[in-house]
Structure formats: C-alpha cells, structure tokens
Amino acid sequence: MKKIVCMILFPLIILSCGKTDRGYDALENGLLGILRKKDEKYITANLEQAAKDGNMDVFSLAYVYWGISGEEFFNKYLNKSKGNAEYYKALIMKEKNDPEEKVVGMLENAASQGNYKAYYVLGNIFQDKLEFSKAQEYLKKGKEHGEIYSLYSYEYNKSLTGVYKRIEELNKKLKNNVITPDEKKELGTLVLEKFSNYDTAYNILREFLSEGYSPALYSKAKKLETENKDEEAVRIYNDLFSENKYYLASFELAYKLVNMSKNYNLALRVLEDTSSEDSLITGYKGFVYENLKKYDKAEENYLKSVQKNDIDIMSYLGRLYEEKNKQKEAKDIYNRAYSSGSISAGYRLANLLEESDKGKNDKNKKNKQYRTQRSNKAAKKILERLSENGDDYSTVDLSLYYPETDKNVKVLNLRAAIKLNETAFHNLGVYYYNKKNKKKAKLYFQIAKEYGYRLEPEYEAFISI
C-alpha cells in the first residue's frame, strides 16, 4: 500500500522463452549446483557454458550468486550478450560507487544492445538526483520499448509534471546557494511527499528539525528506521500525529497497527483523525474498511484515490470488485492499471480472463494435483509480457499454457526457479515426474519443500521412498 515510485530498484532481467532452449541444461546444472552447495569450479563451469551457449537468463543467476564479486564473469561477455553483461556490470559499478558517468555509459551501452531494463535504471539515477526531465527522457525510451517498470514510473511522473518542474527549479537554487528557507522547506517537502525520497528530503530539511517542522521530523523517523531504531521512529510518528495530525505519520501508525496487531478499528480511527484526502490516506482507508468487511466504504475510499490516478490503488479496487462478483468492473480497472504499468493488475487481469474459460478447462483437466492447461490467448499475451519483464509468478503461470511434458514447461519454470520461486521448483518436479526421471523429480520436490511449498500427498510419499 505504501506509495513507492520505484517498485524495485534494480529488477532482475528474465528474458522471453522464444523458440529455443539454448543453454538451459547448463543453466539448470549451475542452479542445482548453487542450491546444493557444490564447489565453485563446478558452478562456474556450468554458468560459463550456459553463457557460451547463448543463454541470456544465466546473467541474472550469476548476479544473484556472485553479486559485486562477479564482475570478471560479466567482463567476458561484454558485447556478446545483447546488453545483459553490460547491465549487470553497471549494477556492480553503481554498488561499488564507480564514477557516475561510467555507470551511465555502461547502461546506455546495455540499452543500445537491446537490454531495455537499463532505461529504467537510468531513469532512477537521474530521478534520485532530482533531474526529472532527464529521468523522463530515459523512462520514455524504456516505455516505448515495452519495458513495464519504465512505463509505471513515466506515467507516475507525468501526472506530476508541474511538481517535478518546481523541484528542478528549486534544486537549481539550492545548488547555487540562492534558495530561501521557505523555498528549501518547499523543496524538501515536495521530494518527501510526492516522490518518497526520504534520504534526500532529510538532507534538505534537517536544519528545520529544531523548529519542529513536520516533514523534517518525518524524514528523520524514516532515516531512523533504516538504522533499525524503530522505537525512536515510532515516538516521532506519535508526536507528529498527536500534535500536528501530519498525514504521513498517521499512515505510518495505521500501517503498523494493521501489520503488527491487526487492529483495524484503531487504525481507522487514526486515519480518520488526520482529515487528509491524500490518495495514500484514502487508499489505505479503503484497505482497512475492506478488512472490516465494510465494502461500500472501501469502494468509496478506493475510488477517491483512483480519481487521482493512483495506479496501485486500482489493483486493490479490482480485487474488491472481484470479491463483490463485479467481474466486468474488475477487468476494466485492472486493464486501466495494467496499461499504466501495474504488474499486479496485469497478473490479476490474466487470471480473470482465464476464469471465463474455466468450464472448458475443467473438461480438459489431466492432473488435478498439478494444473489445468490454460488456453485463453489474451491472458497468455499478458503473461508473456509480464514474464519478459521479469515477473516470476507470471512466468510460472505461463508454463500452464503448454502440455505438461513440453520443453517450454521446463524452460519457463527454470526461468522462475532462478529467482527461487517455490512453485517453479514444484512444477519442475512434476515435469520430471511425468518424464519418468525420478531422480530429478525427487530433487526438485525436496527443494520445493525446503522453500515452503506444501507438496501434495502423492509427491510427499514419492520423496519418502
């Protein structure tokens, strides 16, 4: 529910399955080597073999495995991997605080070779510097290439064009040391409230802590949370709420009441007491009302946020419509959010489209314990796009569109498994079980169980043999 412009700072890339399974055997060996803690030499040999075979998914696995110590691996495949080596090398460079111009250059190189996720990272770099116009240039390029995180951020920023222009204007004054105290307060408050950039806001506003300026104190509390000083942060939120009814502090208290003690009634009282119509507050009121089973009030508050083009709240409203059995309304709002870059809305929309084929699918059901093969073309198209943009849950669901022993089932679930998706491990177990490869089936079922998947009795008994 929290308003966060950057959904994931640096999303891992999972590339489309296409019509090839190049390098997936070596990728699988590398993954299993990592999961079963085999020696470094074995893992490296298989990851390198996968890369040499032209597998693009191996680069995200290598980044997860080696992190910043894996730069040597990526160096081997510069200009040989459609920008993937460049993308992850840039992430490493950024983490090591290499000069920004070099990081930007490496990301631009990645994008020019076809890794469009780089545009999203570039947009974030310039957004963090409060250079929103430059950020929008990169995000627009990502959007035009179908990169969904870029689309989401671009659409969010576009609705606040006047705000970010003002931020750029005030930030220029700050850099030139000609900004007034009131302008500095305005700048820090806009950065805090509109873009949730807590560190930058705190650096701008901390001189106003002594006068009890609410946004300054709130940004300090957020900083304290990053230092694991939650009790101090909560004291500040309580003071801001009791003395000033500051809406962000009210949200934090309500959020904690819900997540720590499920005290929805008290959370609602806190939210009501702030008298704010910010979409963050009205959206969270909707969520609280929904959990109190006051569905009309939930819809009323969700709609207030949706009217302000809050993309995230659209997904919550869609879920509410599903609960109220308003399928058309749910599809419409999910489609609106998905068109603006919401992965969760796209995923729910695909599932709703499949629900319309449920009766037909039930007749074709082969293995009730595993799955029903799906068939809705519109839903499949959505999942393909989400999968290409790295959503592992969509990748797993996409595998349901293929016969259970088809190689695409293996490839797609491997692509999700490298992100440690427990359902993908289970599905790989089923795939090998149906292929009569008992050794691998048992291995994947064991891994799935280790990662929290509740095996069906049939497979539980199978791994006990």
Inter-residue contact 204 to 187 (CB < 8 Å)? yes
Same domain, 130 and 32: yes
Q: How far is Cα 47 from Cα 452, in angstroms, rounded to an integer? A: 26
Please, is 369 exposed, middle or buried when counting C-beta atoms within 10 Å of its C-beta (0-12, 13-18, 19+)? exposed
pLDDT surpassing 50 at residue 286:
yes
Same domain, 145 and 226: no
Integer CA distances (angstroms), 41 to 28, 74, 289, 454, in order? 15, 17, 55, 33
- The residues, ordered by sequence, that sit 6+ positions from 435 with a Cβ below 8 Å of its Cβ are 405, 441
The answer to whether residue 13 sits within a structural domain is no
Residue 11 is predicted with a pLDDT of 58
Same domain, 158 and 33: yes
Considering its fold, how many domains does the chain have in total? Answer: 3
pLDDT surpassing 80 at residue 7:
no
Integer CA distances (angstroms), 224 to 91, 219, 227, 229, 232, in order? 26, 9, 5, 5, 7
Identity of the residue numbered 320: L
Query: Taking residues 129-148, what's their average pLDDT?
Result: 98
Residue among 34, 86, 19, 39 nearest 64 (CA): 34
pLDDT surpassing 80 at residue 200:
yes
Q: Which string of b and e fits 74-109 if b means at least 16 CB within 10 Å?
A: beebbeebbbbbbbbbbbbbbeeeeeeeebbebbbb
- State the chain's mean pLDDT as an integer: 93
The answer to whether residue 435 sits within a structural domain is yes
Last residue of a domain, one of 244, 276, 292: 244
Query: Taking residues 420-441, what's their average pLDDT?
Result: 97
The answer to whether residue 104 sits within a structural domain is yes
With bands split at pLDDT 50, 70 and 90, how would you rate the model's confidence at 368?
A: very low
Q: 371: which strand partners?
A: 367
Backbone angles phi, psi at 367, to 5 degrees: -135, 100
Residue 9 is predicted with a pLDDT of 42
H or E stretch covering 296: helix 295-306
- The residues, ordered by sequence, that sit 6+ positions from 253 with a Cβ below 8 Å of its Cβ are 234, 237, 238, 241, 267, 270
**pLDDT tens digit string along 9-61?**
455 555 544 445 799 999 999 999 999 999 999 999 999 999 999 999 999 99
Same domain, 37 and 147: yes
Q: Whole-angstrom distance between the N-terminal and C-terminal Cα of the chain?
A: 45
Structural domain boundaries enclosing 102: 24-162
Same domain, 44 and 146: yes
Query: Taking residues 252-270, what's their average pLDDT?
Result: 97
CA angle 77-80-84, nearest 5°? 70
Inter-residue contact 87 to 72 (CB < 8 Å)? no
Same domain, 365 and 388: yes
**pLDDT tens digit string along 296-337?**
999 999 999 999 999 999 999 999 999 999 999 999 999 999
Residue 355 is predicted with a pLDDT of 87
Same domain, 366 and 416: yes
Q: How far is Cα 253 from Cα 247, in angstroms, rounded to an integer? A: 10
- The residues, ordered by sequence, that sit 6+ positions from 189 with a Cβ below 8 Å of its Cβ are 201, 205, 215
Integer CA distances (angstroms), 91 to 68, 98, 162, 264, 455, in order? 8, 10, 31, 40, 37
Torsion angle defined by CA atoms of residues 9, 11, 12 and 14, in that order, rounded to the nearest 10 degrees:
180
Taking each helix axis as running N to C, give the angle between helix 84-95 and helix 117-128, from 0 to 180 degrees, rounded to the nearest 10. 20
Same domain, 372 and 401: yes
The answer to whether residue 425 sits within a structural domain is yes
Q: What is the CATH number of the domain that holds 423?
A: 1.25.40
pLDDT surpassing 70 at residue 183:
yes
Backbone angles phi, psi at 29, to 5 degrees: -60, -40
Q: How far is Cα 118 from Cα 114, in angstroms, rounded to an integer? A: 9
**pLDDT tens digit string along 383-422?**
999 999 999 999 999 999 999 999 999 999 999 999 999 9
What is the percent of the chain with per-residue pLDDT over 70, rounded to a whole number?
93
Reported pTM = 0.91
The answer to whether residue 236 sits within a structural domain is yes
Residue 21 is predicted with a pLDDT of 72
Quick one: tokens of 271?
A: 């939210």
Q: Is the dihedral of CA 373, 377, 383, 387 positive or negative?
A: positive
The answer to whether residue 288 sits within a structural domain is no
Query: CB 360: neighbour CB atoms within 10 A?
Result: 11
Is the model more confident about 366 or about 188?
188
Question: Which of 194-198, 316-320, 355-359 is the least confident region?
Answer: 355-359
Mapped onto helix, strand or coil, the DSSP state of residue 117 is helix
Q: How far is Cα 443 from Cα 388, in angstroms, rounded to an integer? A: 27
Q: How far is Cα 27 from Cα 148, in angstroms, rounded to an integer? A: 26
Residue 363 is predicted with a pLDDT of 45
Same domain, 150 and 199: no
- The residues, ordered by sequence, that sit 6+ positions from 44 with a Cβ below 8 Å of its Cβ are 73
The answer to whether residue 291 sits within a structural domain is no
With bands split at pLDDT 50, 70 and 90, how would you rate the model's confidence at 465?
A: confident
Q: How far is Cα 32 from Cα 61, in angstroms, rounded to an integer? A: 11
Q: How far is Cα 46 from Cα 26, in angstroms, rounded to an integer? A: 5
**pLDDT tens digit string along 84-128?**
999 999 999 999 999 999 999 999 999 999 999 999 999 999 999
pLDDT surpassing 60 at residue 170:
yes
Is the model more confident about 360 or about 153?
153
Identity of the residue numbered 102: K
pLDDT surpassing 60 at residue 340:
yes
Residue in this structure with the two tokens 């993954």, named with its chain if needed: 31
Gyration radius from the chain CA atoms: 24
The answer to whether residue 11 sits within a structural domain is no
No. of helices (H) and no. of strands (E), the chain:
28, 0
Residue among 332, 258, 331 nearest 290 (CA): 258
Counting every residue written for the chain, the total comes to 465
Integer CA distances (angstroms), 180 to 16, 217, 359, in order? 51, 20, 66
Same domain, 71 and 196: no
Last residue of a domain, one of 162, 193, 219: 162
With bands split at pLDDT 50, 70 and 90, how would you rate the model's confidence at 159?
A: very high
Q: What is the CATH number of the domain that holds 88?
A: 1.25.40.10
Same domain, 204 and 133: no
Inter-residue contact 87 to 107 (CB < 8 Å)? yes
Residue 12 is predicted with a pLDDT of 56
Same domain, 365 and 423: yes
pLDDT surpassing 60 at residue 267:
yes
